[in-house]
Structure 1
Amino acid sequence: MNDISSAEITTLPSDAANKIYASAIMFRDETESARKIAPVVVNKLSEFALFRMGLPKSLGGWAGNPIETLKTYETLASAEASVAWIVWNNHLACTFGRFLDESSMKEVYSDPSHIYANSARPEGVAQTVDNGYMVSGQWTLVSGCQLADWFVLRCLVISEGSPTTLGPGASLKLFFIPKKDVKIIDTWDVGGLNGTGSHDIVVKDAFVKEAYAVDFDSPVAIDTAYSRLPIGCINAAGCAAMALGVLKAAMDDLVDMCFERVTPGKSPDLRDRATVQATIAKSKTVLASKRAQLHHSVEVLWKEAQQKNTFTDIQLADVWAASCEAAREARDMVSEIYAVAGTASLYKKHKIERAHRDIHAILQHGIIQPHWMNQAGMAYVGLTPNGAMFRI
């Protein structure tokens, strides 16, 4: 593939995340109240190309070891989970671009200032017409829609003789649609991940040319180790990394409170409570062990991708299982931290309060639901996992 943009990451994504960390914290109240990422933070994320990590290197993407993206999500989530969520969501929208032909990829992704949003839920309908499709629908939970210049939206494709409802034989495609064809409906009135601005969007009779409609069986326009990585479980690993970042924020906040709330000569302090001591020790162990397992399982896939090897179901299962368990244990640990911190957990000035809301919102995503553990278990006992996204 020829170079089609001069944009290129010159800083490790994880180093960039560390540089943005302070700003994400400084403007977290603005992000929360506005229900979208504060403009200052958006500009910094764009400056370091963190919205474009899923693209090929020639378009400003990362294209290196995916552990870097996991570190990036964890660091950003430890500052403000909504910031990490939008970066992670952009990675998926950019990853979908691998199925476009080279010319279409350039048209959609060549502007380094652009931001992307997506919905893999097939909540729209695409009617086949000459040279393309007419797309209409309303999609829920479209994170970052107010910031996005392009949307990648999944639809049921209807043509002569094809099924008109979801089910066996239905044809599904992803459609790349510019923001001019999208209307935002203000529906995001929530607690956790409030800053993601995950409103509904509506598209009505938008023409999408044939080249902008792809599916998971479409040819991949580039052939790099990064483009060979499976979309599903890598996306799950990213979600888990965010959960670990939120756990780190809550854990660090509890430790800080222990040092700040010391009253010599009076009743026992927070740090003197056995429950607090045990919870801090447990949380540090959970964070380190789940991070190590997650990174190791993804590292195995990266090495296989570099060698152009086919991933085994066991290797994929390891990532799915590590992701689901890391996220679940992070949620359980944050809930325990929230409990042992006592009434301090109720105050918004402490990260624990926000962490408790955000971690429960993160775990609602379908990519880390318990059924993926069943899919992994099938592989471990010699059965064939049948989840639609297990190998994609």
Structure 2
Amino acid sequence: MTDGLAPVETPTSLLDTIPTLEPVIRAGLDDLERGILPAEIMRAVEEAGILDVWIPSKVSGKEADPVDWLKAVEAIARIDASVGWAVIVLSGHVRLLTVDHYTRFSELTNGRVLPAFASAPRGRAVAVEGGYRVTGRWPFASGSTYATWHGGVAMVVTEDGTPQMAPNGLHPMMIQVMWPADQGKVVETWDGLGLRGTASHDIEVEDLFVPDGQALLEPFPLRAEHATERVRELGVLAHGTHALGLARGALDEFQRIVASKPIPGSRSAAVMGHTESHRIAFAKADALLRAARSLLYGAVEDALVAAAHDELPMDQRVAIRQANIFAVRSCREVVDEIFKIAGTSAVYRGPVIERAFRDMSTAANHNLPLESSYESVGAYMLTKNSSEGPVSVGTPFF
């Protein structure tokens, strides 16, 4: 590792680093709530090796066990959801780079490739000799203040702004353009209900020259040498494990409050967790969380086995999408229920359960795990055996 980061021995598991990271994260909770993604926290996460797990081994990366990484995201989100979200973005987005792109980017930013980019097509790219002149402003670039690279989707246009059509002639040509973070700017717009410390600000460039080597024409790298590359959904499955950690943190806090000595004179604190309805609600929430976790990790393991020697079958792609959506939607139910039975102890701004409620509400509104995302799963299941083959609706599968 360069840029002054301390070298560390690779732990047996990424989970082994969590006890060391936890006090660092907790020390920055107030800053995170104020909308700051502390560099001290992210530097500690980076030094622990959690941000470079997807770097291809052929360029001296770790390419760690994907299940280990998903569990590390879960463990960090259990401590703080904003840091967990930043980990998803800054490490998971490396999967979108080809080996050639990664090598080039690494040379330009001292070996640190931490990309934050937005998928909304808010940019315009004019083709010029050797690359593109890019102008645009993109929202929701999580991790933007710590990232070493920024990027966004841009429509390729002519000098007069006329869209160029894709080779199939059916839609305008879109490309993913990337640039070193210090060549653009971060516009501090993020003031969300939850996930306040994710630095999900706008990123902006104006008439920036982006060389061809920093334009991603394919949505995913053409690497399929082993199962972790053939299961291209692994990065987005962290949305599910992030939700699992967040919800478990809310359950942990409710248990802690119940076990602690009630505040004198507080009826709600005295009865919390000691009524029949509270006990039933907690047990059901815990069961739902365990079921969601089992389904998600089971689907991941099945997919890795199925992709061991060949492309992942569509049945498995559908199953892991279904499990990911179910995990996030179930975790929202869990956190909502805990917030409800926590009563007035959860309504003041700042306590763990109140923050979990806001964080979970925000995370669950991401477009990937929305309730409507089930439609593509159901459509495939109901039509895959029909004479005309499966019907594709909603967000396409990878």
What are the superposed Cα offsets for residues 97-143 of structure 1, whole Å, 9 maximum, x if unpaired? 1364564254367614x532111221111111111111110101111
Aligned partners of 2:61 and 2:27: how far apart in 1?
27
Select 1:306's aligned residue among 291, 308, 314.
Answer: 308
Residue in 1 aligned with 2:387? none
> Residue deviations 1:310-356, cap 9 Å, x none?
22221111111111111011111101110101100123453101000
Distance 2:359 2:283 in 1: 22
Report sequence identity in percent. 24
Quote the offset at 1:51 in angstroms. Answer: 1.8
Are the aligned partners of 1:313 and 1:379 in contact in 2 as well (CA < 8 Å)?
no
Q: Which amino acid aligns with 2:225?
A: D
After superposition, the CA RMSD in angstroms is 2.9
| Structure 2 unaligned blocks of 5 or more | 1-6, 385-389
Q: Which amino acid aligns with 1:333?
A: V
Residue of structure 2 in register with 1:48 after alignment: 48
User: Residue 350 of structure 1 aligns with which residue?
Assistant: 351
Do the aligned residues in 2 keep the contact of 1:236 with 1:324 (CA within 8 Å)? no
2:339 equivalent in structure 1: 338
Match of 2:392 among 375, 386, 390: 386
Q: Which residue of 2 aligns with 1:297?
A: 299
Q: Which runs of 5+ in 1 are unaligned?
A: 1-5
Query: Corresponding residue for 1:208?
Result: 210
Provide the secondary structure at the position in 1 that maps to 2:293.
helix
Structure 1 residues 70 and 218: CA distance shift in structure 2, 3 A: closer
Q: 1:316 to 1:110 in 2, by over 3 A?
A: farther
Tell me if the contact between 2:138 and 2:202 (Cα under 8 Å) persists in the aligned partners. Answer: yes
Decide whether the 8 Å contact of 2:325 with 2:370 is kept in 1.
yes
**Structure 1: which amino acid aligns with 2:144?**
C
Contact 1:21 1:75 in 2 (8 A): no
Deviations 1:136-183 (A, max 9, x none): 101011111111111132111225999728994221111121112211
Give the corresponding residue for 2:273. Answer: 271
The whole-number CA distance in structure 2 between the counterparts of 1:190 and 1:265 is 35
1:19 aligns with 2:20: yes
Matched, 1:288 2:290: yes
Note the C-alpha offset of 1:370. 2.5
2:228 aligns with 226
Which residue identity lines up with residue 366 of structure 1 in the other structure? N
Q: Offset of 1:361 from its aligned partner?
A: 0.6
CA contact (8 A) 1:243 1:330 kept: yes
Displacement of 1:186 in angstroms is 1.8
Partner of 1:126: 125
TM superposition score normalised by structure 2: 0.87
- Alignment partners' CA distance in 1, 2:220 and 2:89: 21
Could you tell me whether the CA contact under 8 Å between 1:51 and 1:90 is conserved in 2? Answer: yes
SS of 1:244's partner is helix
On the 8 A contact 1:145/1:184 being kept in 2, the answer is yes
The residue number in structure 2 matching 1:184 is 186
Q: What are the equivalent positions in structure 2 for 1:73-88 lying under 5 Å apart?
A: 73-88=73-88
Contact 2:115 2:147 in 1 (8 A): yes
Contact 1:54–1:61 (CA<8 Å) still a contact in 2?
A: yes
Equivalent residue letter for 2:315 = I
Aligned to 2:3: none
Which residue is equivalent to 1:260?
Answer: 260
State the match for 1:115 in structure 2: 114
- Taking structure 1 as the reference length, what is the TM-score of the superposition? 0.88
